[in-house]
Amino acid sequence: MEAAAEPGNLAGVRHIILVLSGKGGVGKSTISTELALALRHAGKKVGILDVDLCGPSIPRMLGAQGRAVHQCDRGWAPVFLDREQSISLMSVGFLLEKPDEAVVWRGPKKNALIKQFVSDVAWGELDYLVVDTPPGTSDEHMATIEALRPYQPLGALVVTTPQAVSVGDVRRELTFCRKTGLRVMGIVENMSGFTCPHCTECTSVFSRGGGEELAQLAGVPFLGSVPLDPALLRTLEEGHDFIQEFPGSPAFAALTSIAQKILDATPACLP
C-alpha cells in the first residue's frame, strides 16, 4: 500500500514483464535480453531490471560491462545503452568492484537490494520494464513480486527447454504464479532445436514440443519456440545486437514473433 500511495520512479512505466523459469540453464537471461531488444526495435522504450543477483549476466550480453551507475535527484540513474536512451539497464553487476566478484549475501540483504532497485531506480518513461529473475521460486521472487505488486505488473513470461525435466520444473513455476496471483502471459520454449549456420536447417537436439504441450495443459498461451543459433550465442558473448545484425536467422523470426505477440496481447492484459 505504501508503494501504491507513492508510485515514484515506476510511475512512468506502462507495463512490467517478469521473466521466470523453474530451473537454471534454460536461457532466461537470453530471452530477457532479446525480448527487450525486439521490443526496442518495434519502437518501444524498454528498461531491463536484472534481479538475478548471484548471476548478473545481462550487462555482458548487452555490452555494458564496466559501466557505472550514477546518482541523480530521484535516486539511481540506470545505464543507458544508446544515445536515444531507448533501452536502459540496472543490474547488481554494475555495483560489484570486480566482474568475477561473488555476491555472498543472505536473504534479507538480497531482498533489501531488490526493493531498493524497485523504488530507487529513475526509469523515467518506459513502455516496458523487463525483469530478469533468478531461477526457481526463492525469496528473491517473493521480494520482487511483493515490491512490484502495487504497480500491477503486466504478468509473467515463463521460459522452459523441451526436456521433460525442465518442463516438470516449469509446471511448478506455473503453480507459483497461481499461488501469488501473477498473471501468466505465456510460455516460451528455448533451445528448441539447433540451427545449422550453413544451411539454416533446424535439427532437434533434445526433444521438441514440451513447452507447447505444457501450455495447452495449463491453459496459458504458447508464445513460440526459439532454436539454438550460433549467431545468437556469439552476439550474446560479444555484447552485440542480434536482432539488428541477423534478420535472416530462424531465431530472429522466433524472437520477433514472441515480441509481437506480447505487443498484441498488451491491451487485453491491462487490469
Identify which has the larger pLDDT, 40 or 6: 40
Identify whether 91 is part of a domain.
yes
Q: What is the CATH number of the domain that holds 93?
A: 3.40.50.300
Identify whether 224 is part of a domain.
yes
**148-162 pLDDT per residue, tens:** 988 867 799 999 988
Binding residue per annotation — 199? yes
Binding residue per annotation — 239? no
Identify whether 8 is part of a domain.
no
Binding residue per annotation — 43? no
Identify whether 4 is part of a domain.
no
Q: What is the pLDDT of residue 2?
A: 41
Binding residue per annotation — 168? no
Cell 502495487, residue?
150
Binding residue per annotation — 25? yes
Binding residue per annotation — 261? no
Q: Are 188 and 32 a contacting pair, CB within 8 Å?
A: no
Q: What is the pLDDT of residue 6?
A: 56
**235-252 pLDDT per residue, tens:** 999 999 999 999 999 999
Identify whether 47 is part of a domain.
yes
* Cα end-to-end distance, the chain, whole Å: 17
Q: Is the pLDDT of residue 4 over 50?
A: no
Q: Which of 110, 121, 123, 120 is nearest to 56 (CA)?
A: 110
Q: Is the pLDDT of residue 270 over 70?
A: no
For 268, the enclosing helix (H) or strand (E) is helix 250-269
Q: Are 159 and 190 a contacting pair, CB within 8 Å?
A: yes
CA distances from 180 to 19, 76, 156, 159 (A): 15, 29, 11, 18
What would you report as the CA-atom Rg of the chain, rounded to the nearest whole angstrom?
18
Report d(CA 246, CA 231) in Å as an integer.
8
**220-236 pLDDT per residue, tens:** 999 999 999 999 999 99
Secondary structure (3-state) at 250: helix
Identify whether 200 is part of a domain.
yes
- Residues 6-31, mean pLDDT to the nearest whole number: 87
Q: In sequence order, which residues have a C-beta less than 8 Å from that of residue 149 and are 6 or more positions away? A: none
**58-113 pLDDT per residue, tens:** 999 999 988 888 888 888 999 999 989 999 999 988 887 676 676 666 778 888 88
Burial class (CB in 10 A: 0-12, 13-18, 19+), 171: middle
Q: Is the pLDDT of residue 200 over 90?
A: no
Report d(CA 222, CA 158) in Å as an integer.
10
Q: What is the pLDDT of residue 56?
A: 87
Binding residue per annotation — 72? no
Binding residue per annotation — 196? yes
φ, ψ of residue 257 to 5 degrees: the values are -65, -40
CA distances from 81 to 63, 89, 159, 240 (A): 8, 8, 25, 11
Burial class (CB in 10 A: 0-12, 13-18, 19+), 28: buried
Report d(CA 96, CA 137) in Å as an integer.
25
Range of the domain at 24: 17-264
- Residues 27-52, mean pLDDT to the nearest whole number: 95
Binding residue per annotation — 26? yes
Q: Are 215 and 186 a contacting pair, CB within 8 Å?
A: yes
Domain total for the chain? 1
State the number of CA atoms in the 13 A half-sphere of 43 facing the CB.
2
Q: Which of 34, 93, 55, 75 is nearest to 232 (CA)?
A: 34
Q: Which of 21, 13, 83 is nearest to 49 (CA)?
A: 13
Return mean pLDDT, the chain: 87
Q: What is the pLDDT of residue 268?
A: 43
> Among residues of the chain, what percentage have pLDDT more than 70?
92
Identify whether 269 is part of a domain.
no
State the number of CA atoms in the 13 A half-sphere of 210 facing the CB.
22
**165-185 pLDDT per residue, tens:** 778 888 888 999 999 889 999
Q: Is the pLDDT of residue 3 over 50?
A: no
Identify whether 12 is part of a domain.
no
Q: What is the pLDDT of residue 99?
A: 67
